[in-house]
Chain A
Amino acid sequence: MRTPRSALAWPAWFWFVFFFLLPVGLVLLYSLGYQENAFKQIPKLDLSNPNWGNYQKVLDPDYFPTFRRTLQIAVTGTVVCLLVGVPFAYWLAVKVPAKWRGVLLGLVLVPFWTNFLVRTIGWQLILSPQGFFSTFLQNVGIRDEPLAVLYTRLGVQIGVVYNYLPLMILPLFVAFDRIAPELREASKDMGAGRWRTFFQVTLPLAMPGVAAGMLLVFIPLMGDYITAALLGGTKGSMAGQLVASIFLSTFNWSLGAAMAGLLIAFILASIIVFGALGLVLRWIVRSRRRVQLPQGVAG
Chain B
Amino acid sequence: VSTDQLRPNRPSTDWPRLLLTVWGVVVFVFLFAPIIVIVIYSFNRGDLLVDWDGWGLHAYRTFLDSPIPQQAIRVSIVVGIISALLATVLGSLAGVALARRPGRWSVVFLALVALVLVTPEIVDAVSLLPWFVELGDGPLPAFTYGTQAGYLRLIVAHSLFSTAVVALIVRARMAGIDESLEEAASDLYATPSRRFRQVTLPLMFPAVLAGAFLSFTLSLDNTIISSFVSLPGATPWPVYVFASVKSELRPVVAAVSTLMLFLTLFAISMVALVLRRGGDSSSDIARTMAGGG
Interface of A toward B, CB cutoff 8 Å: 4-9, 11-13, 15-16, 19-24, 26-27, 41-42, 84, 87-88, 90-92, 95-96, 101-126, 128, 130-132, 162, 165-166, 170-171, 173-174, 177, 181, 185, 194, 212, 219-220, 222-223, 225-226, 229-230, 240, 243-244, 247-248, 256-257, 260, 263-264, 267-268, 271
Contact = CB atoms under 8 A, between A and B. Distances in A.
Nearest to A209: B292
Given A21-B112, A170-B290, A171-B292, A130 B33 contact: no
A248 B229 CA distance: 12
Contacts of B232: none
Interface string B23-44: 1100110111111011001000
A170 B292 contact: yes
Contacts of B91: 12
Contacts of A115: 220-221, 238, 241, 257, 260
Contacts of B34: 119-123, 125-126, 162
Contacts of B242: 117, 226, 229
17 contacts: A8-B93, A9-B106, A12-B90, A16-B164, A24-B127, A26-B131, A84-B27, A102-B286, A103-B282, A106-B268, A114-B35, A115-B257, A117-B238, A121-B241, A125-B37, A170-B290, A244-B125
Closest 8 CB pairs of A and B: A223-B120, A122-B34, A102-B282, A23-B131, A12-B94, A23-B127, A9-B97, A8-B97
B207 interface: no
A240 B97 contact: no
B126 A106 contact: no
B79 to A, nearest CB: 14
Interface string B258-281: 001100110010001000000001
A289 to B, nearest CB: 23
A201 B193 CA distance: 48
B257 A6 contact: no
B84 to A, nearest CB: 14
B28 A19 contact: no
B224 A88 contact: no
B131 A111 contact: no
Interface string B110-127: 001101111111111111
Among B41, B241, B265, B283, chain A packs the most CB atoms within 10 A around the CB of B283
